[in-house]
Amino acid sequence: MNGSIQIAIILSDETQARYATASNTIALIAPQKVIAALDEFQQEIDISNPKRSPVRHDELLTKLVLELRRSLELPFEDDVSTFRFRLVGGGREDNTAAYRSQRT
């Protein structure tokens, strides 16, 4: 692994198709800042990225969620200095356990 963190999550074809549909839908209707945050997140999680990091993943996911929330013009403001978002696993236990073990 050459000191880099390896994250391996197996996605089904259906899951990949749903992710692509969601990403493409965001690209069609979201403001430019949301699209830029999504692109940055996708570059981080891309399998060809040799420097993937669970910490960077969470930072960029938080940034994406904050941009999405801003674009919705919610009737409250988030505190960006304390707002954190992490994915909640609902998939195969072996995948989520492998990911969690890489975070520590």
Q: For the chain, what are the domain ranges?
A: 32-103
**What is residue 9's predicted lDDT score, i.e. its pLDDT?**
55
- For residues 89 and 101, give the distance between their C-alpha atoms in angstroms, rounded to a whole number: 13
Confidence of residue 87 (pLDDT cuts 50, 70, 90): confident
Residue of 48, 42, 9, 47 lying closest to 23 (CA atoms): 42
Task: Examine the pLDDT at 89 and tell me if it is beyond 80.
Answer: no
Task: Examine the pLDDT at 8 and tell me if it is beyond 70.
Answer: no
Identity of residue 54:
P
- For residues 44 and 5, give the distance between their C-alpha atoms in angstroms, rounded to a whole number: 12
Task: Examine the pLDDT at 55 and tell me if it is beyond 90.
Answer: yes
Task: Examine the pLDDT at 42 and tell me if it is beyond 70.
Answer: yes
Task: Examine the pLDDT at 74 and tell me if it is beyond 50.
Answer: yes
